[in-house]
A = this chain, B = another copy of it.
Amino acid sequence: MTSVPCLTPAIILSRPQLGENIGAAARAMANFGLTDLRLVAPRDGWPNARAFSMAAGALWIVEGARVFERLEDALSDLELVYATTARTRGVAKEVLTPGAAAANLRRSADAGVRGGLLFGNERSGLDNEEVALAQAIITIPTSPDFASLNLGQAVLLNAYEWFRSADTTPEVRIDHGALARPATNAELQHLFAHLEDELLKAGFLYPPDRVGQMKLNLRAMLQRAQLSDQEVRTLRGIIVALTRGKLRRAQPSVEDADEL
């Protein structure tokens, strides 16, 4: 482990078979801020060219991977280990979702506890003796029709949940860019007044007993768009252009119509 500012969980792959899956795991770790990869008796030896190729740039992960002969040794310094397995085994251990496990690992890491996520091999997963070395089990919820996840996918989903457990990305945002900001209420009111004035003059807001509801509907539509100040200016420019265009179109020439 390099000089990581906080304790991030180790990813332990027990008896992995395909270099491609080791590389995919490394890549997923890099995507989501994990660095400590441990390999227990990789079938095709180590280093593995296919792992490096599949890591697709996450080289510091595969280059920093440590290889162990025995799972016991790979886990020895860890204080909270979760075993990822799809099958229940007739042993009464806690079974967590990846999200709940990530929340526990995050809380523990913040308290100085060294954690790890243990994954079995591609063919048979973790055996009972391997699972017995972990405090609890993670099972990824899947459709009952097709529950098989490959090793890289299982690492990816758990790494994603680890990252998300402390991620402050807003659930929804609008990026108006450096040169724009959300329109103020006054800017919107001026836009409404400008548009409604022209629509009255144009005879669009008619008959009089429906004008009130028509204005409310227009305002609701424009509010939903969450306009920037720049967009309000653009719309007011459009109103001006269209009203002038209408005046021009009253002239014999019709070429201007195509410019819209």
A residues apposed to B, CB below 8 Å:
27-28, 30-33, 56-58, 88, 90, 92-97, 99-100, 141-143, 145-150, 153, 156-157, 160, 163-164, 167, 169-177, 180, 226, 228, 231
Is A177 touching B92 in the complex (CB atoms < 8 A)? yes
List B contacts of A88 (CB < 8 A).
175
List B contacts of A92 (CB < 8 A).
174-177, 180, 228, 231
Is A56 touching B156 in the complex (CB atoms < 8 A)? no
List B contacts of A164 (CB < 8 A).
99, 141
* 4 A-B pairs with the lowest CB-CB distances in the bound complex, closest first: A30-B146, A100-B171, A141-B169, A33-B143
**Given the interface contacts A57-B148, A157-B160, A231-B92, does A97 sit within 8 Å of B171 by beta carbon?**
yes
Is B56 touching A148 in the complex (CB atoms < 8 A)? yes
Is A146 touching B231 in the complex (CB atoms < 8 A)? no
List B contacts of A226 (CB < 8 A).
94
**Given the interface contacts A92-B228, A150-B56, does A142 sit within 8 Å of B32 by beta carbon?**
yes
List B contacts of A56 (CB < 8 A).
148, 150
Is A147 touching B95 in the complex (CB atoms < 8 A)? no
List B contacts of A58 (CB < 8 A).
146
List B contacts of A163 (CB < 8 A).
141-143
- Identify 28 residue pairs between A and B in the complex whose beta-carbon atoms are under 8 Å apart, listed by A's number: A30-B145, A31-B142, A31-B148, A31-B149, A31-B153, A32-B142, A33-B143, A56-B148, A88-B175, A92-B174, A92-B175, A92-B176, A92-B177, A92-B231, A94-B174, A95-B172, A95-B173, A95-B174, A96-B172, A97-B169, A97-B170, A100-B172, A141-B164, A141-B167, A143-B163, A153-B156, A157-B157, A157-B160
CA distance A160 to B100 in the complex (A): 15
Among the interface residues A28, A142, A146, A156, which one has the most CB atoms of the partner chain B within 10 A? A146
Nearest-Cβ distance from residue A24 to partner chain B, whole angstroms: 8
Nearest-Cβ distance from residue A84 to partner chain B, whole angstroms: 14
Smallest CB-CB separation from A176: which chain B residue? Answer: B92
CA distance A30 to B142 in the complex (A): 9
Q: Given known contacts A99-B164, A142-B163, what 5 new A-B pairs fall within 8 Å (CB)?
A: A33-B143, A56-B148, A92-B176, A92-B180, A95-B175
CA distance A205 to B145 in the complex (A): 55
Smallest CB-CB separation from A28: which chain B residue? Answer: B153
Smallest CB-CB separation from A143: which chain B residue? Answer: B33
List B contacts of A156 (CB < 8 A).
153, 156-157
